[in-house]
Each structure stands twice: as structure tokens, then as C-alpha cells.
Structure 1
Amino acid sequence: MERETISTENVPPSSPTPQSQQRYNLSMLDQMIPSMLVPLVLYYPYPTDTASPDDPHSFAARFTSRLRRSLSVILTRFYPLAGRVNPDGQSIDCHDQGVPFTVVRFPATRLSDLLSKPDEALPRHLLPCPVTWDSEPGPGSSPALVQLSHFSCGGAALSLVLWHKAADAATLGEFVAAWAAAAQPAESNPVRPISPNYLAQHVFPFRPEIPSGSVSMSEILKTGTSVMRRFVFDKVSVEVLKSSISAKNLTRVEAVSALLWRCFMAASLANGRAYSVLTHAVNLRRRARPPFGPDCFGNFPGLAAASAENREEFGLVKLVEKMRGAVGKIDGEFVERMMGDEGLEGYRENLGLVWRDIPRNADMLSISSWCGFGFYEAADFGFGRPDWVTRCEAGGGPGSKFLNVVWLMDTRDGKGVEAWVVLDEKYMTVFEGDVDLRARAWRDPSPVDNAGGFMQ
């Protein structure tokens, strides 16, 4: 793909960060997150004009200008993202250094052509920096980077990369929503500005005894040579799947997760493993009593773990029950144990609670859901919603070493689920052969339908 760099700059906050906020310490929960990068790509269709990005009257120029201006505005509220990672790797220097903002053009590439047959390498061309599971920002790195890519058809892709120790998916969703709201014309945006709070620093205070780099992806995930597949469950498939599982108030994430776990159990058994364990990332904001608001900046990670013997013929109902039992352990008391100066001891106690009944050497599948964070409906910068949003890469593809990872994304209508699955090739052969999976989901479909529009 031919690529031209139009501009590169650091976008600072529109007003200076107060002196009292010029050092941002991570919370204890932030410290427990591996030092990795989290990418997101939002694809926007071409509206009406065809002019180039350097034409001030074109969509591309207007989109670029609006994004740059509104980014500066919201960085006064999301000020840690405009700073730089300190040498200790445990804090951010917030002297308004600015978010690196790169604008590029692909003069011979149409976005619709790229998306007609998307492959796992596509997002890598659109990111402001290389991203894999083991990408770790060093001292002086920016906690956030942005790239805006323009295509010959007038379409665009907005890419964000965040340092995971600074923010989780919920914070990323709030950031995108705040940015989009700030970009809207004042007359069409009567809602009050979205502002984060920094409660986590005080409720889960920084623990100096936790060394930087104490948690790495190599300690968490299985390693090997991986392949990636994208399985898309549209709203009809989700409803049919849910109707086949007799469970009260079943969510689409629960239904899809249960099916994926059963597929993994078969693959694990075929590769000589007796037990499997499903881990699911849990948003602690919702589990606390009273709940923390979605505007709480930072990381609020919980981990639910449920196990099963691979040889047993588990129905999806039983797997849902196991998942719910694991998630049920993460309650208000679970969160409260980690608060305050004794929070580290509470964290260790919680780890024991989560893993107590898990068999040793169980084959682990890790699922993280980004469903419900509003990356479609909230990401209208004044020119319409994105047509496709991707978490884009979680380590799959050539050169990747991490395995048994799944992340779930909304479909555009918010009623379906995209499951991005990274497995060992031998596992994937069995996994994707499951009869129910083949009946319920499309494998690696284009988000563009035959009529040139986007899948709902």
C-alpha cells in the first residue's frame, strides 16, 4: 500500500495542566496490568466529496481539522494521556507534551476495496506505531497515540493506541465519546461535556513495593505459533443461539462465550489436555457496591475463572452456569478487599479465591469483551458514525507468540458479536470445525455486503 505522511505533530491540551496534577501516579490496579499497548481502529465512510486532504473545503481536511481541535479540548480533562511515561514506568509526567497525531494518505487505495476482503494485516498499516501483545512503551513514551488515515475514495480510518497501564477499554470508550462530543457543533451538542474522575488513585492507592514490569504477558498467556480467525454472529444468529440455551436473562456475551469455550474444550481434548479453564475479564466498576461510575479513569480489572473436564459432554447451559458462578465471586466484598492501604493483601486474597478450584495445568482460554462500550454510537465526530470498529490486533498473525486469546466486539447494530480468536494452528483446525459454530457464525466475513454497504 502506497502511503504518504501529510503531517505529524504533538497536540497539547488547550489549557495548561495545573501544577498539582503534573505527576500522575498509577493506581494499584493499574500496576497489576501488563505494560502493553491497546489499539483501536474506527473506519468512516466517504460522505459526498472527493477532494484531497490538502484542500480546505474537502471532507478530509474538515475531518482532520475538527479532530485536531477537539482532541486539544478534551486533553484538558484526560490530561494524563497528553503526558509522557516516567522512567519508573509507574507514573506519567503531565507537562502537556501532547498526544502524537499523525495524518497519512493512501492515494491509490479505496477503503471499500480494503474492507471487501479484510485480513489480519490490514490494521497494522493504519496504526501510529507497531503493536503486538509484547509491545512495551519505554520511558518518555506517550500514553496515547493517534493516526488519521485518508483513502482515495474519501473514506478515513481513525486509529488510537493507548498504554494499557493508564487506561482500560471502558476508559477508552469514555475518551472516544468525549472526543466525539467535543467535535460536534455547539448547537447540535447540548449535552454537558464528558469528564473523567480520578478516584482510582485514591481508592486503590499506588503501592511502591510492586516493581515495574512485575506482570508480563508471557506469564499469563500460552506461547507458540498462532493463527487468528474472526467469527461474526449477527443479531439473528445471537438470538437463535440464546434460544437454544435455557438460562434466565442470558446475555449475548454469555451465549457466545459458552459456545466458544465448548469449541475450545474439543480442541484442547484433541491435543491431549484433560482440563480447560475459561477466564473472563470483569469490569470492577460494575461489581463494586455502590458501583463506580463509567467515568472512572484507569483500570478496574477483575478476572473470573471457571474450569471443566474436557471429556465431559457439557451442554451450553452448564457452561453458562459455570461462568456465572465464577463471575459471582467478584462482588462488592471482592472489590472492597482491595481498597485502601491494605489493598495489596486483599488483591492476593482475591487471587486465591479466583484460582482455588482450578486444576493445575488446565488449558486456558482468555476472553475479554469490549461489547457495550459505545464505540459505534458515541463515535460520531459530526460526519456520521463509523461503519466498522476493530480492536484490530491481539497478537495474532506472523511473528506472534501468544495463544488462546479471544476478544469480543459489538457489530454495528449493537446486537451481534464479533469474536476475534487467536489459537495454535492445530487447535484452530478442531475449533472452527464445530458444527454449531459453523451454523451460527461467519468466518472472516467482509464488513461490506454485496450492495456496497456495511453489515449490520
Structure 2
Amino acid sequence: MELNLEFISTKLIKPSIPTPPHLKNYKLSFFDQLAEREHMPLLLFYPYGNNNDIGDDLFDQKLEKSLSRILSHVYPAAGRLSRDRFSIDCLDQGVTFTKAKVNCQFNDFIDQVQKDLNLALFFFPRDIQDLKDVDFDSTPPMVVQVTKFECGGIAMSISASHLVMDGFSNFKFVYEWAKVCKFEIPDDEIDFMSFDFGEILPARDLSRIFPNRVHPVESEERFIANRFFITEQTISSLRDKLTGAIDSGELCFKPSRVEIITAILWRALIRVSEAKHGYLRRSLVFFPVNLRGRISLPLKENAFGNYVMDAPIMFVPEKNKMELHDFVTLIRNSVQKAIDACAIGTADDIIANVADSYKEIFASKEWGTDNDEVDKCIISSLCKFPMKDADFGRGKPSLMHFGLRNFHSCWMYDAECGSICVQVDLKDSYMSLFECQSDIKAFTNVLGNQERIQLQPLL
């Protein structure tokens, strides 16, 4: 499908109310320092339908004005990273807002993206593509691009700097922005986040705490994506299969749907690696855990910034078994270990515990990022996050897309009627093997191929 993008305008949207002097310097937290220096793009597609009660020009104005109003509350998003990288200079520099148009109909694009989800990457903001480290500090913490289809449908890309906010903060921002846009909520009624995390767990010199991270060399092989729907009925069926392990004492708890799906995805990836290399290899999953509400320090559950820890989950062929209940147990124990490391103690205690956990991975010859004998991936649950309800006045999104497509990743999020959608990003040679794995075929074939790839209605 040949798509041509025409950029119409780019401007900086600034807070509608200037940031007060005492808030001009927003302190980053210790957990902000742990975040990768990259942007996290979220892409939402909205068709043009009967619920569009205002014209395009008026809708554009509402988008910009509502963004300006919400930035008065989430003021760090409109600032810039300071030179010392320990804080954000909140001088109301603004968020980049780009308008563009594309030469195709919305429904035609949706038909094509069913066959190739990689087409969604076309709508990512150019500002974050191939972003070099030297440019990262001067790039706005948030970049927005709104692209209109010929029929009036839109693609909205909202990309946030991971150094400034995690997934919770990013998705909460988008959801609240949509509410402000749709209902025209005034400035003085916008209040949904707290901004004191940097005071509770302040940034510090990490050189004595953490080893230098060795980032893997970028692969020349293309990453591609696919999506799989898992119905509530299928999840119940998978849970029933684990009942025997519970009855026999091999599993001592009732697993959650996220734990079950994570186990299925991970086991399939391990088997794909075995097929490619001819032997069972070590595997390391980074499972991001939202730690809000799980800390003894006086941190509010709606804290802005990064409060997430990548719980490392390690599979060792000589130690771990391949039964589903073994994976579920390993996932539960590893995630709980990460939570326990941050749940109790002073700020220094928490930092020491997190440092020990990260050193176990990044300073280890067995598990370090420069060890090519270890398969690594991210499996992240975005379930219960409010992206699917982000209604800017044009209904809920009919398609969502996550991430930069540069690492083996699996993203879970809520779909319709209790089902879960999984976006899987893998190298091309891995994807063909992954789709043929018995675990993956088992839960996708229940739906049938047509329903499995159906994109409308998604939510």
C-alpha cells in the first residue's frame, strides 16, 4: 500500500496558564533515572462516523486548546530536560503538535493493516524516529501528531519521553486529555496527578550504584508485528487446564489471566529459540511492574513520572521445567520478589534493593545484555489502563498500536467483552515460527482466522 504523507503545520502548544515560579524546576526521581532514553509512542485510530457532531476545523481547535489546558496541570510535559539531567526546566517551552494528511481512506487503511500491522508505523511522529542521543535532551518530552485520512478519520500519535513518564503517566495523560477535549473541562477543574515523587525518592549519582548498561547491537533483521485476540472463554479454558496442577499441589494459587497469557507467550518464544538454535537456551523476560500503591513511603497512587520496575524473570534449562504451571509459578515468584524489594523500608533501602536486583542482570556474565547466549524480551501488561476509553469526542479508538518496534516485545491490553489483545513484536524470522507454535495456535484457532485478525470493533 503506497501512502503519501503531507505535513500541514507544526507548532508548540504551551500551557494555557503559565507555570508558577515555585514549580519551574521539576525534580526527577531515582526511578526516572532508571528509564531508557527513548520515546514511547502510542497510536490511536479513530474512524469518521455518526458521532462526529463538529466540523474538522472546530475539532482541531478543541484538540489544541484542550492540550494547552491539560499542560497547565501536567507542566513537566511542556518543559525540557536540564543540563545535569536531574530535573526538568519547566519554562513552558511547549509540546510539539504536528498536523498532517494522508492520501487514503480510513477503511482502506484498516483493510490493509489487517494484513500488515507494520503499516501503523507510518503514522509515528518523525521527531522520534532515529532520535540520536545528542538530540534527546533538547527534544520535547511529548510529541503529538494528528494525521487526517481523506474521509475524515484520524490517526493520533502521542509519544512521551520515558525519562519523564512511564506507561501509567502517559496513558493517564491521554485519557484525561480526551475527557478535557470532549467535555471542555476548565483549567481549574483539571487535577488528576501528583508531582512530588522526586522529593520522596530523589535522583542521585548512579555511577557507584549501577553498572554501565551495555545495549545490544541493533539487528539488521526487520522487526514485524502481529496481533492475537484471546477471548474470556479461552482464558477460562486455559485456567481450567491448570486446575489439575492446583489439585495435585504443584500450583498453590489461582493464576491471573495476565500470568497465564505471559506463561503461554514466553514458553512459545523459548520453543521458537530452540527451533532456531537447535538447543534449549536461557531466557530472560523483563516484566514491567507498576509499583504505585505498593510502597511504604508516602507516595500517592496517581504519582506522575516513572514508578515502574522491570522485574527480571529468568529461565534456566538445567533448572526450570517446561510445564505451564512451572512457568506460571516462576512468573508469580519473580514479580513478587521485585515488589517486595520496593514495598518496605526507607528510600535508601528501596534504592539498595533495586540496585541489587539490577546488578544481578546487568553486571552478570550469565545474564548481561552483551551475552548472546541469552534470549531476551519484554512482556508487558497494559490491562486496566484506560487507553481504550480515550474518547476525544469522536468515539473510542478502533485500533491501537504501541512501542518503537526495536526489541522482542509482547504487549497485552484489554479488548472487548473481557478478552485480551496481544501485540507481538518479533524479528521476521522469529514471527513465522512463533505463529506456528502449538500454544499460540491453540488459543488463536479457537477464534478462527477471520475473527482473530478482525480490527473493528476492537473495543
Deviation at 1:372, TM superposition (A): 1.7
Q: Measure, in 2, the Cα distance between the counterparts of 1:168 and 1:181.
A: 20
Corresponding residue for 2:441?
438
1:141-290 mapped onto 2 (5 Å cutoff): 141-185=139-183, 193-210=190-207, 219=215, 223=219, 225-235=221-231, 236-246=233-243, 248-270=253-275, 271=277, 272-289=279-296
Number of the residue aligned with 1:84: 80
d(CA) in 2 for partners of 1:214, 1:353: 10
How far apart, CA to CA, are the structure 2 residues paired with 1:32 and 1:346? 14
Task: Rate the CA distance shift 1:446–1:21 in 2: closer, same or farther, 3 A.
Answer: farther
Alpha-carbon contact 1:269-1:310 (below 8 Å) kept: no
Distance in 1, matches of 2:41 and 2:23, equals: 26
Alignment of 1:404-443 (within 5 A): 404-413=408-417, 415-423=419-427, 425=429, 427-441=430-444
Q: Could you tell me which residue of structure 2 aligns to residue 390 of structure 1?
A: 401
SS state at 2:286 partner: strand
Aligned to 1:399: none
Q: TM-score, normalised by structure 2?
A: 0.83
Change over 3 Å in CA distance of 1:332–1:275 after alignment to 2: closer
More displaced, 9-18 or 409-418?
A: 409-418
**Which residue is 2:11 aligned to?**
9
SS at match of 2:64: helix
What is the rounded CA distance, in whole Å, between the counterparts of 2:127 and 2:449 in structure 1?
Answer: 23
**CA distance 1:82–1:257, shift in 2 (3 Å):** same
Distance 2:235 2:99 in 1: 38
Structure 1 gap ranges (5+)? 51-56, 396-401
Which one-letter code corresponds to 1:436 in the other structure? D
Maintained 8 Å contact 2:118/2:225: no
Q: Secondary structure at the match of 1:173?
A: helix
Q: Answer whether contact 2:270 2:281 (CA < 8 A) is retained.
A: no
8 Å contact from structure 2 (residues 342, 350) kept in 1: no
Is residue 46 from structure 1 mapped to residue 53 from structure 2 by the alignment?
A: no
Q: Aligned runs of 1:348-359 on 2, under 5 Å?
A: 348-351=355-358
Cα displacement (A) at 1:185:
2.6
Any idea what the Cα deviations from partners look like across 1:2-24, whole Å, max 9, x if unmatched? Answer: 33323221111010101121122
Q: Distance in 2 between matches of 1:132 and 1:323?
A: 33
Q: Root-mean-square deviation (CA), in Å? A: 3.4
CA distance in 1 between partners of 2:20 and 2:207 (Å): 28
Are the structure 2 counterparts of residues 287 and 329 from structure 1 closer, same or farther at C-alpha, using a change threshold of 3 Å?
Answer: same
Distance 1:91 1:406 in 2: 31
Question: Structure 2 vs 1, CA of residues 444 and 405 (structure 1 numbering), >3 Å: closer, same or farther?
Answer: farther
Q: Is the contact between residue 117 and residue 226 of structure 2 (CA under 8 Å) also seen in structure 1?
A: no
- Counterpart of 2:396, as a letter, is R
Q: Which runs of 5+ in 2 are unaligned?
A: 247-252, 368-372
Match of 2:307?
Answer: 300
C-alpha change, 1:252 and 1:3, in structure 2 (3 Å) is: same
Residue pairs, 1:319-330, within 5 angstroms: 319-330=327-338
Kindly tell me: are residues 444 and 344 of structure 1, through their superposed partners in 2, closer, same or farther at Cα, counting changes over 3 Å?
farther
Against the structure 1 CA distance between its residues 208 and 5, is the aligned structure 2 distance closer, same or farther, given a 3 Å change threshold? same
Q: TM-score, normalised by structure 1?
A: 0.83
Q: Cα offset for 1:334?
A: 2.7
In the alignment, the residues of structure 2 paired with residue 65 and residue 335 of structure 1 have an alpha-carbon distance, to the nearest angstrom, of 44
The structure that is helix-richer by fraction is 2
Cα distance change of structure 1 residues 148 and 60 upon mapping to structure 2, 3 Å threshold:
same
> Do the aligned residues in 2 keep the contact of 1:27 with 1:200 (CA within 8 Å)?
yes
SS of 1:117's equivalent in the other structure is: helix
Distance in 2 (CA, whole Å) between partners of 1:227 and 1:88 is 34
Q: Deviations over 1:114-152 (max 9, x none)?
A: 121213442332122254697544332100011111111
Count, aligned residues? 433
- The structural deviation recorded for 1:88 is 3.4
d(CA) in 2 for partners of 1:214, 1:143 = 26
Instruction: Give the letter aligned to residue 92 of structure 1.
Output: I
Paired with 1:357 and 1:82, the residues of 2 have a C-alpha distance of 38
Residue pair 2:444, 2:452 contacting (<8 A) in 1 also: no
